[in-house]
Each structure stands twice: as C-alpha cells, then as structure tokens.
A and B are shown apart, each in its own frame.
Chain A
C-alpha cells in the first residue's frame, strides 16, 4: 500500500497553463455536457423548494402509481409518474437529490478532513506515529465500509447527522494515504528545507507549504471518491438503514419501488436513473480533472 500515492509534484502546472486547460471553451464536448448537467442538477437540488412542481410528501391515493409521460394512463401534471402513495416522483427525485448529494458531500468533506489531518501527521511525524496511522489505514481498507457504517448505525441510531459522520469515518483512508505520500515528497523540496532553516515549525510547514502544494491531488481524489460515497449512502437508504421516511433519498426511493416492480417499474427506475446519471457525470468529471491537473493516483 506504500506506493499508493505518487502524484508528481514536479508535474504541477504553472498557473497560466492551468487556466488555459480549465477554460470552458477548450474542454472536450463530453466534459462540457457533464459540467452543464452537474450545474443543472446542483441548482435544481439547491432550489428544490421552488423548482419541484409538487410537495414531495403530499399523498394522494386518487393519483397512485401513475406512469410517466408518454405511457398509457399518465397524468399531465406528473411528468415522471407517481409512486404507490400518489406522490409526484419528479418532486421526490429533486428533493431526494438534495438529501442524497448533501449527505454524500458532507460525508466526503468529513472523510477528507480526517484523512488529510492524519495523513499530514503521519507524513510529518514519521516513526511510530506514522506506523500506527498506516496500520489504522490498513484496517479501514480491509473491513468493508458498509459494515463499519452498519455497526455505527446500530449503536447510534439512524439519524441523518450520524449517517454523515459515519460515512466520513468509513471513507477517510484514501486521503491519508495520498496526503502522506505527497508530504514525503514535498517535505524534501528545497523551499521547505529553506523554511525549516529559517526556523519554521512542523505545523507551520504542513499548513503553509505542504497543504497548498497537494491541493490538486486532493481535489481529484475527492471528485473520484464522490460517486462511491453517493452509492454508499444510497445503498444504506435502500436497505432502510439510512435516511428514514417520509424524507426521500434516492436510495430509499429505489427501495420503496422494489415492491412495485411488476406493475409499476418506474417507481424504482426513475430514482435509480437519477443515481446512475449523477455518478456517471461526476465520474467523468473526475477522470477529466485527473488528466488535466496531471495527477497520478494509483488506487
């Protein structure tokens, strides 16, 4: 696991070259499409209250299991159809995206904070501390992270805040590995040595010199990790262990739809499609960002 992080610091691009590569007009069309999709999804989720055509939790048995537009028997006001309680699937999806993506982003952030901190400590301290933290990384690689979160939920109950923290705790190890690897490289560079010669302490060097230099691999890693965290959240909610009803999360919506697959496939497929589209878009962006920023992360 030691060779895991090997993003080349000398590969860091000068600012003007970076700006050119990141300018919208120079992006490949598929990436442009992904960015537009991401912005649209994000703004719909942020403005869910105003964008969603219906109340996501409004039950109306008269309208239950209406198919999406274009199929026999659909109702004009429900574009993507309704579920078994007559709730509008489009509105539930928009709100569900807000919940799922929100939880995933917070979990991602917490994991990144924990992992970066431990990685910095590990790389700067060396010796026993380093070995102990890497041992912990090994444990977290070995134990399936669904199990970690499940034990946590059993202990602390399934509150949304608990879920976010648990997801963060289950998914910190990759940051620790990458940051540690970066620290070991950057630490030896002349400017860090100069700073140390001028009397700078470890914490100062870590925060002032090393952290800014490893920003791009961290960004790439976060983007690449996001889909799997979203999947972790939706898997948990699908199993009924994550977000609790009546709040809609994409995973719990698919879980609800499972019981109606024979007669109303759309109840499960609509939120499932939303999950697939989001993970696909972010995965594409992550791969592209990795190439553009010229970061090498071997997972």
Chain B
C-alpha cells in the first residue's frame, strides 16, 4: 500500500512539474509584458527597467529556477493589469467557484447514480429509454446551450429564478443544475453499463438462488459493486466539470475563477492566467490521487496489481 501511494504521488508530482514547465515556456514565448502594458511603445529605458523588475533579462534556465523557487515560497506573482498579487485576485473568487462546483458534483452523483441504476434495472421499459435519451442529450449538448435554454425558461419566461450573480441561495440553482446535467448524463450512462455487467456475475445468481430478496440483492450486492469503477470515472469527469465551470461562470456572471481566467486570456495577463492553470492542474491531480487511493482502499485487487 505504501509503495502504491509513493508511486502514485511520484507520478502526480511529475505531472504538476510538466504543467509548470509548459506554463513557463508558454509565458516566455509570449514576449515581454512591456508590450502588453505599453501597446503603443514606450521609451527603451522604461521597458528595460520593467524587464529587470520581472527578471526577464536573465537566461531561461535561471528564470525557471527562480520561478519554481518563487512558487515554492508561495509567491505566485503580481497581476500585470491590476498590479496586486494574483493570490489576492483569486482569493475572493475561490469560494463561489468551489461551492458551485461542489454543488454540481453532489447533484451529479445524487441524480446520476439512481438514474443509471433505474435504466439498468428496468431495461427495455419506456422509463429506462426516457432516462437514457435524456442522458444522451446531456452528453451532446454543450454547457453554454443548456445554460441559455435554462435562463430563457426559468429566468425570463417563468421568472422563477435569478440568472446572474451569486447573492442568494436561489442564485445557485440555475448554474449548478447546468453544470450538473452533463455530469448526470455521464454518470448515468456509466452506472447503467456497469450495473448490467455486474448483474450477470455469478455471485448475483448465487444470491438469487439462496433466496435473497431482490431489493436486497440490488442494494447490497449489485449497486455496491457497480459503484467501484464509478469512482474512477468521477475522477476523470472532474476535468470536464472544470471545463464547464469556466464557461458557465461567464454565462451566469458568476463572481468566480472562470471570469478571471477568461479575462486574463484576452488581456494577456500572464501571471493571473498561469496561477489559474496551476491551481486547476493541482486541484485535478489531487482529486485524481484521492480517487485512486479511495479505489485502492475499496478494492484490494488494485493494490496487488500495481
């Protein structure tokens, strides 16, 4: 088990390092921040001074070493446009973003698993077909279209729910549901197929032969075993959730990371963009490690194989 954890942690560190290298290279390839600050050109002394200030006059390996050392000290740089630490720029936005993503994840799990289980247990019935075609649509329709349709119906037409901002609890409903729908679809699809696999296994037949009540078989034997592989899928879906939240937050004018990040792309505010990428990459890697460890705890076969 210890070896498994060490191996997994090593791989994760390598991934994060590669992301850092990519970020660093990308940002240095983009040219000097002076061009961004003074698009019409500035006196050479001023540009030179600025480049000194940003450490751009040294060699690339030197800059990278400096950069990693800075990150390790927790100094993530200063926004070129806003002239304050990026941690500050992000600090106030982190809460709403995290809450929204967590809520979507909870909705996704709570709706996706029963929906998928239902579709597997009642296979061939109209209910199951309906559930799966809804899931299919959730897969093919992008986040921003779901968002617009929901805003149109519940925000403007029925006038039930607010569609911009994050002041009250009801502001969370539309964005969270939008973000959750594709997740519900993915989880339901996956849950259905693993349920169908598990239901054909020998131990289910044995349980039936022993005279175990069907509901007990489903709840105790089938669903429990089908949930295991679902953990892995959840880990992979997190990346999709982040993709979605970047877009959703813009659509709903959510005061979160998404807006800051997309803004930093158009304004070429590289320290801000870079911090966002690092935060997201570390978050995804951390979640995936947790998922793998959970999986190893739940399923001893994984530990043995690796």
Contact = CB atoms under 8 A, between A and B. Distances in A.
Given A155-B26, A265-B152, A276 B239 contact: no
B125 to A, nearest CB: 20
Contact of B30 (A135, A141, A154): A154
A227 B144 contact: no
A143 B250 contact: no
Nearest to A143: B281
Interface string B158-188: 0000000000000000000000000000000
Contacts of A153: 265
Interface stretch (B69-77, B82-90, B113-121, B240-248): B240-248
A122 B270 CA distance: 34
B250 A155 contact: no
Interface string B7-41: 00001001100110011001101100000000000
B152 A143 contact: no
Given A151-B23, A154-B264, A143 B284 contact: yes
B148 A254 contact: yes
Contacts of A144: 239-240, 242-243, 246, 280, 284
Contacts of A234: 142, 144
A250 to B, nearest CB: 10
B225 to A, nearest CB: 18
B145 A276 contact: yes
A31 to B, nearest CB: 15
A142 B142 contact: no
A142 B246 CA distance: 16
B280 A150 contact: no
Contacts of B105: none
A280 interface: yes
A154 B152 contact: no
Most buried by B among A136, A143, A272: A143
Contacts of B14: 135
A146 B243 contact: yes
Interface in A219-234: 227, 231, 234
- B contact face: mostly helix, strand, loop, or mixed: helix
Interface string A231-273: 1001100111100000000010011011001100100110010
A138 B26 contact: no
Contact of A152 (B26, B141, B242, B268): B26
A279 B140 contact: yes
Contacts of B240: 144
Contacts of A215: none
Interface size on B, as a range, is 35 or more
B56 to A, nearest CB: 15
A262 B140 contact: no
Contacts of A261: 148, 151-152, 156
B131 interface: no
B251 A258 contact: yes
Contacts of A283: 136, 139-140
A143 B145 contact: no
Given A154-B268, A283-B140, A141 B239 contact: yes
B262 interface: yes
B148 A262 contact: no
A240 B246 CA distance: 13
B261 interface: yes
A272 B141 CA distance: 9
B192 interface: no
Contacts of B142: 231, 234-235, 275, 279
B19 A239 contact: no
A239 B22 CA distance: 23
B4 to A, nearest CB: 15
Contact of A235 (B15, B143, B261): B143
B149 interface: yes
B97 interface: no
B128 interface: no
A12 interface: no
Interface of A: 135-136, 138-139, 141-147, 150-156, 227, 231, 234-235, 238-241, 251, 254-255, 257-258, 261-262, 265, 268-269, 272, 275-276, 279-280, 283
7 contacts: A135-B14, A136-B18, A146-B246, A151-B22, A151-B26, A156-B30, A276-B141
